[in-house]
């Protein structure tokens, strides 16, 4: 993996790459941004780029050094994450002791702290002192989703690198390069901005099952009989996992109804379920625009009701009946 592979975070990649090329890497960076934006992956790439013997200011990703860093087995790269709910002062003390030692394999040592906002007060104060007087050659890469929760004094000691949420198109494209079918990839990418979560969804059998149930349910809602209610009953009997993911099921339902609207206004390029155009085309003939808009509102209300711990089966049955009543 080279810096070109970080096209989804171009500003962050360009800043760090140029700093490495010019030998001007700061002693401390704060990578701030949402979960799944690639902060840890880029932090590891910075570390690899410092140590990789094959490339200058970049990393090949394949040599022994790069592979050891990726696996967490390099003596000059230390990864710290919360011990339970927080990062404790003993972890920071151990970090300081380790970083004070001479580098084993180069002139640099790197430490990566995940969820740095979860430090205890004592740990944060200890890290602050370390940031104020860092040993020569030591680079700190601090990762957080909540920079507002950190001490201002720590923020002032770091160069802040902002990470933006990944776009749905970027996530879908990445999943498709990994072999995920286009429709499933796009559906997963519009459910979450976290690439890892989208990847897990797209590989889960139950996710594909939920989408199939959505397609079936929308078809049955126009039949104005009990078939849709039976489908809801069967859905809730399938597995405990599906019961846990009912809000996600409703998100998929909203995306499907929106796709029918897109077909009606000839905006096929915007379809999420792009692999189901024939089915969408057929359903677009039997739903009116007002029915679809009203249906989307009802689904959103149902999702809110379920998230407030309403009875799931009653809420879903009510949704079906309200849609059928038009």
Q: What is the pLDDT of residues 34-60, one digit of tens each?
A: 888 889 999 999 999 999 999 989 999
| Structural domains in the chain, sorted by start | 3-162 (3.40.50.300), 204-325 (1.20.272.10)
Structure tokens at 301: 């209300």
Among residues 76, 53, 55, 74, which one has the least CA distance to residue 5?
Answer: 55
Distances (CA, A) of 135 to 95, 112, 138, 211: 12, 15, 6, 54
Q: What is the pLDDT of residue 239?
A: 65
Q: How do 159-162 and 77-80 pair as beta strands?
A: unpaired
Residue-wise pLDDT tens digits, 209-233: 889 989 999 988 888 778 888 888 8
Each residue's pLDDT tens digit, 89-121: 999 999 999 998 888 878 899 999 999 999 999
Q: What is the pLDDT of residue 243?
A: 72
What is the model's pTM?
Answer: 0.72
Burial class (CB in 10 A: 0-12, 13-18, 19+), 106: middle
Q: What is the pLDDT confidence band of residue 283, given thresholds at 50, 70 and 90?
A: very high
pLDDT band at 69 (very low <50, low <70, confident <90, very high): very high
Predicted pLDDT at 19: 94
Q: What is the pLDDT of residue 1?
A: 56
pLDDT (tens digit, 9 = 90+) per residue, 118-172?
999 999 999 998 899 888 899 999 999 999 999 999 999 999 999 998 889 888 9
Select from 286, 241, 242 the least CA-distant residue to 232: 242
| Mean pLDDT estimate for the chain | 90
Tokens at residue 298, please?
Answer: 């009802």
Over residues 193-202, the mean pLDDT reads 89
Q: Are 157 and 132 in contact (CB under 8 A)?
A: yes
């Amino acid at each position: 993996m080279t810096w070109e592979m970080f096209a989804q975070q171009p500003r962050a990649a360009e800043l760090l790459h140029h700093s490495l090329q010019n030998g001007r890497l700061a002693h401390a960076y704060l990578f701030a941004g949402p979960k799944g934006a690639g902060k840890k992956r880029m932090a590891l790439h910075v570390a690899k780029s410092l140590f990789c013997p094959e490339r200058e200011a970049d990393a090949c990703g394949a040599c022994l050094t790069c592979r050891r860093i990726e696996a967490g087995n390099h003596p000059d790269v230390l990864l710290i994450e919360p011990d339970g709910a927080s990062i404790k002062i003993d972890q920071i003390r151990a970090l300081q002791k380790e970083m004070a030692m001479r580098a084993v394999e180069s002139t640099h040592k790197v430490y990566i702290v995940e969820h740095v906002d979860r430090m205890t007060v004592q740990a944060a104060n200890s890290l602050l002192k370390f940031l104020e007087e860092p040993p020569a050659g030591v680079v700190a890469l601090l990762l957080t989703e909540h920079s507002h929760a950190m001490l201002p004094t720590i923020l002032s000691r770091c160069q802040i690198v902002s990470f933006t949420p990944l776009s749905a198109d970027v996530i879908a494209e990445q999943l498709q390069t990994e072999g995920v079918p286009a429709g499933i990839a796009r559906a997963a990418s519009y459910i979450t901005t976290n690439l890892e979560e989208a990847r897990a969804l797209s590989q889960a059998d139950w996710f594909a099952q939920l989408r199939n149930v959505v397609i079936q349910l929308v078809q049955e809602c126009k039949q104005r009989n009990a078939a849709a209610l039976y489908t809801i009953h069967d859905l809730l009997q399938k597995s405990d996992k599906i019961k846990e993911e009912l809000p996600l099921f409703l998100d998929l339902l909203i995306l499907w109804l929106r796709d029918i609207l897109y077909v009606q206004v000839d905006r096929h390029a915007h379809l999420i379920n792009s692999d189901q155009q024939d089915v969408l085309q057929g359903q677009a003939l039997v739903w009116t625009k007002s029915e679809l808009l009203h249906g989307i509102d009802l689904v959103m209300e149902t999702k809110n009701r379920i998230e407030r711990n309403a009875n799931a089966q009653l809420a879903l049955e009510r949704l079906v009946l309200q849609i059928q009543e038009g």
